[in-house]
Structure 1
Amino acid sequence: MLAAALILTAADLALKTLAEHQLTSTPGPRLLGLIELRLTYNTGMAFSLGAALPHGIIVAGTGLLTAAVAAYTWRTAPTTPLAGRIGQAGVLGGALANLIDRGRDGKVTDYLHTGWWPTFNLADAVIVCGAALLVLTTVRQPAPTPDKDPARWT
């Protein structure tokens, strides 16, 4: 799971660098079917919430949230089904990529635009898909049965 999260992190950071280079060398949006490449920067959190807050607070909050995701993933991975672990890797990889990107210059590079949704990046898409997969896995997983051994209650 950690390897998958790190691969997703590296892929996102590479694509952000490529998009930034390509879209600043020849400005203007580029249409790719249903998705348009458009360079924007997000100084806030999701949907630019908190953009007026100081950079340090945003980075610290993002760092704490990423650490919480990592701790949850570490703790629950042994009992999580494969699909859930894939979702956890996506959420962790995307969160880590956005944290690293934000830590470099105080903003997250976004480059994918649909016209009906705020501009986003690969990490954002992986976080959303990973969270959806994790929720679906959790909903489909049977509830744990209570331990019937009275010796464990003491």
Structure 2
Amino acid sequence: MSEDPAGRGPAAVSGSAARPDARRSGSRRPVVALAVTAAILLALDIVTKHIAVSELSGRGPVRIVPGILDLELTRNSGAAFSVAGGATVILSLVALAVIAVVVFTARRLGSVGWAAVLGALLGGALGNLVDRIFRAPGPLRGHVVDFVHLHHWPIFNVADSAIVCGGVLAVVLSLRGIGLDGSRFGDDTTGRTGTTGPAGE
């Protein structure tokens, strides 16, 4: 068995060779978390909308918590929470753009927290886009199924909730100084300061 030219033993050489694989494995973790989060939210959105259409069609509001929460089926031609009604085609194109941005940004991911953010945004965008593509009145013009009604709040669905929760989590991570790559703002400065003292202090 050949020895490393730098004088290190075989174990040291094999250990250093294993580290890049470990780093690559760690770098894939946030991307996997993003994909799993998006898939779960998309499946949950599709299933709950199917149940809502089959159980709530032709019925009035179903009271869950009187004065607070009802289930009421509506068809929404706008964005989340019935905003921008009638702009379905534009909103469909915006959703496609959001999906493209999330997929592009995933290459820089090193944070599981940001993976959850992007997974929620991706799952929510896909959930409502599926409605706009496959539901009446036609592709890119389909109306989104909404059914959760909190009193004094527009009716919404799981996809809308995912988008909002993703946005809130993004604000929290930004306030904590956590970047997409998992580093904290100011870490580089701290590292440089730590090496200026004697003996690496």
Length-normalised TM-score, structure 1: 0.81
> Is 2:40 the partner of 1:7?
yes
Does structure 2 conserve the Cα–Cα contact (< 8 Å) formed by 1:84 and 1:138?
Answer: no
Does structure 2 conserve the Cα–Cα contact (< 8 Å) formed by 1:87 and 1:134?
Answer: yes
Aligned to 1:84: 114
Greater alpha carbon shift after TM alignment, 97-106 vs 133-142: 133-142
Aligned to 1:95: 125
CA distance in 2, matches of 1:127, 1:60: 17
> Is 2:66 the partner of 1:37?
no
**Equivalenced residues, count:** 143
CA distance in 2, matches of 1:127, 1:23: 24
CA distance in 2, matches of 1:12, 1:112: 12
Deviation at 1:132, TM superposition (A): 1.0
Aligned to 2:84: 50
Does structure 1 conserve the Cα–Cα contact (< 8 Å) formed by 2:81 and 2:160?
Answer: no
Match of 2:166, as an amino acid?
A: G
Aligned to 1:63: 96
Aligned counterpart in structure 1 of residue 146 of structure 2, from 110, 114, 117: 110
Deviation at 1:101, TM superposition (A): 1.5
Q: Gaps spanning 5+ residues in structure 1: where?
A: 149-154
> Is 2:143 the partner of 1:143?
no
Match of 2:92, as an amino acid?
A: V
CA distance in 2, matches of 1:6, 1:66: 13
Distance 1:57 1:88, change over 3 A: closer
Give the greater-gyration-radius structure (CA).
2
Does structure 2 conserve the Cα–Cα contact (< 8 Å) formed by 1:85 and 1:134?
Answer: no
CA distance in 2, matches of 1:57, 1:129: 23
Indicate the percent of aligned positions where both proteins have the same amino acid.
34
Does structure 1 conserve the Cα–Cα contact (< 8 Å) formed by 2:82 and 2:154?
Answer: no
Match of 2:185, as an amino acid?
A: A
CA distance in 2, matches of 1:133, 1:14: 24
Distance 1:11 1:47, change over 3 A: closer
CA distance in 2, matches of 1:135, 1:75: 21
Aligned to 1:27: 59
- If asked which structure has higher relative contact order (CA below 8 Å, sep 6+), I would say 1
Deviation at 1:2, TM superposition (A): 0.5
Aligned to 1:152: none
Aligned to 1:151: none
Give per-residue Cα distances to partners, 1:49-78, cap 9 Å, x unaligned.
Answer: 43233x433322221122223322x1332x
> SS where residue 100 of structure 1 aligns?
helix
Match of 1:119, as an amino acid?
A: I
Deviation at 1:127, TM superposition (A): 1.2
Match of 1:31, as an amino acid?
A: R
Match of 2:80, as an amino acid?
A: A
